[in-house]
Amino acid sequence: MVKILTDQHLERFLSKARRIRLLIVGDLILDHFMSGVVRRISPEAPVPVLEVKKQIYRCGGAGNVCLNITGLGARATIASIIGDDSNGSLLRNMLEENNVDTFVLTRRNFPTSIKTRVIAGSQQMIRVDNEQVEKMTSDELAKMKKFFCSEIDNFDAVIISDYGKGVIVSPLISYLVRLCHSHKKIITVDPKIDHFFYYKDVDCLTPNLTEASAGMHMSEPVSDDGIISLGKKIIRKLRSRGLIITRGKDGMSIFSDSGIFHLPAISKEVFDVTGAGDTVIAVLTLALSCGFDLLKSAIFANIAAAVVVQKLGTANVSPQELRTMFPGYKPETIETIQ
């Protein structure tokens, strides 16, 4: 067992965060939440009828990563692609209203990805995805590279937020990794299963257990020993400096230079896990950029995730919410696995 964090660490993190600027590269998604009550079954088919009481639009995908960063006082810039449509305009406006700088390429006759979640009470009934997956063109790739090359020194770190909608392609990742290494910038990845082997030589990946297993073409482990074996294989294969495997209600496992650790989950009440992975990669990378090591950074991310899973839909965490959570968190419960 180890005890490594104090309130002073938290205040130092929040103070330093205001001077950090992060670049987020990934897929933008518009999240649409339609909530209400169900009182009857439709006479047309054996399905419930939802009486809509509220509709909410939020930045999803890489956009939610950005809002988790600006919500803690840091600066964020998003590099992505959207459609030339009303949903794309809405996304761009929401990002700008939340102080996110944008380098967003617009495609004609291309729909901006939107996920609609229909919720009755606290129960999600169905999710409807309207999207068209097309890989980045050579022209778009050239524009992205030119932007990254000219702006990389203005950022402290780069986050790859991969939702598999076409922005993340292998040549883009290899270019960003080389660029970050040559300019001594941190690069982290929230990965997608289909692209798992794109992410070689990054500083840290944050897959959940299912993504980590499927990405390595292995069955999902059911024991700590199995997770340790899986994590070591990922680090060897991808040559990553660090790895965090998130495990939902079972917390997260951290693979770092100083050892392998397990953090238990904090939240006693989980209302909605939508976007929790966005919070983890955002807060983790922000803490690393503030000079904290991987374990301390993971603890900050774990605390932040405990906040957002108690909220409806894609959500972010505020400095005050972190302060409220911190006194109740007991760092001595961290287990040194190996």
- What are the residues facing 217 on neighbouring strands? none
- What are the residues facing 102 on neighbouring strands? 78
Query: What is the spatial distance between Cα 194 and Cα 76, in angstroms, rounded to a whole number?
Result: 27
For 201: left if phi > 0, alpha if psi spans -120 to 50, otherwise beta; the answer is: left
DSSP calls for 100-146: EEEEEEEETT-PPPEEEEEEETTEEEEEEEE----PPPHHHHHHHHH
Q: Is the dihedral of CA 114, 119, 124, 128 positive or negative?
A: negative
End-to-end CA distance of the chain: 11
Candidates 7, 85, 278, 293; catalytic one: 278
Sole residue written with tokens 């993504």: 211
- What are the residues facing 79 on neighbouring strands? 25, 103
153 catalytic? Reply is no
- What are the residues facing 115 on neighbouring strands? 31, 129
For 251: left if phi > 0, alpha if psi spans -120 to 50, otherwise beta; the answer is: left
So which residues are the catalytic ones?
A: 278
